[in-house]
Structure 1
């Protein structure tokens, strides 16, 4: 069995304050993954050609009116963006090889998924993120904050620490983040109308459940407990 790829060295901390959002906070290789994901989505759609949803003289790609897919992609873009930010910081600052590898895995996987999700939304001419304060309306339960999201105070506390305390804070925040997003993934998997989006949601459930189990074990090894899901 081949060993997992080594996380690349980074010079940035992933939390610059220039207002560029998650794009500017990710290293160049990660932004390349996002661009590649968008290009791949567009190429796949072009290859499908005649596969359209709806009837009419102009092909219309995307979910039908009232489908949950757009809301899921918009909300999950916001959710993933914060996870990537936390993973970038942990990978750049931890001295624990196991934590560095875990952060790298989360960062690279969720950056790739971000590229796919934003590619679909742009293709459908939809906003790429939910408007603040209107999350989860597509689930019939609008919320100001999505479950599992870290607060500004959480992130400040995490970034202010070093060594084992920082690693524990990362594991606690990311584990809560994974568990909080699970209901949205399951809702899309059950009710989505676009097969590639529902398949993505199912793959998220599988990968993030496995990562959550790993993080729970890592916390126990460090004498810490998970945070309650907010």
Structure 2
């Protein structure tokens, strides 16, 4: 069951990567720096970077093949997607650093400032990352799966925002693929947590 879910996630991630290779907006123009397209690219690049970091931490803290394989898949997929998002910002000649508050492009710029490194919904705090780096074995696996489940839920919310608001068609397709693959991974992580007697 877990193996088939992992395979489905990998296929979804591969399809996502395959479609996100060009810059094509519905209007044919370059997005503005204040657009949802640029905002999503900047914020999701930051969000993805933390997922990559967490995944490499847990790979060094456990010998469990299922969790190590999932962590590797997440790290590779999100690193590749992050490269696409930053590449589009380069192509559009737009700043990679947010000019306003995180999630402003989603109408959430007035939310309280993120604390201890958790800049956007779902992100882990620096204290949580430090704790993950000190645990090992089952304890590290459980914390990673819990943190990544929360992280994915925040990522899905953001990707759904792009599907609704972004004007660049290929970016909307990437966001739609993120929703599908991360929801599949959330389901997989739920199964892995249950097998370890833990909840998300």
TM-score by length of 1: 0.71
Please name the residue that 2:102 is paired with.
135
User: Residues 6-64 of structure 1: CA distance to partner in whole angstroms, max 9, x if unpaired?
Assistant: xxxxxxxxxxxxxxxxxxxxxxxxxxxxxxx9xx95xx45xx8xx9834xxxxxxx225
2:59 paired residue among 91, 104, 128: 91
Aligned mates of 1:216, 1:113 — CA distance in 2:
24
Please name the residue that 2:86 is paired with.
118
Unaligned runs of 5+ in 1: 5-36, 55-61
Instruction: Look at both structures and tell me which one has the larger radius of gyration over its CA atoms.
Output: 1
RMSD: 2.4
Unaligned runs of 5+ in 2: 1-5, 8-16, 114-118
Count of matched residue pairs: 177
TM-score by length of 2: 0.81
Greater relative contact order: 1 or 2 (C-alpha under 8 angstroms, separation 6 or more)? 2
Aligned mates of 1:71, 1:115 — CA distance in 2:
15
Please name the residue that 2:153 is paired with.
179
SS of aligned partner of 1:115: helix
| Structure 1 residues 160-175: aligned runs within 5 Å | 160-175=134-149
CA contact (8 A) 2:27 2:167 kept: no
Aligned mates of 1:66, 1:80 — CA distance in 2:
21
Q: Which structure shows the bigger proportion of residues in helix conformation?
A: 2
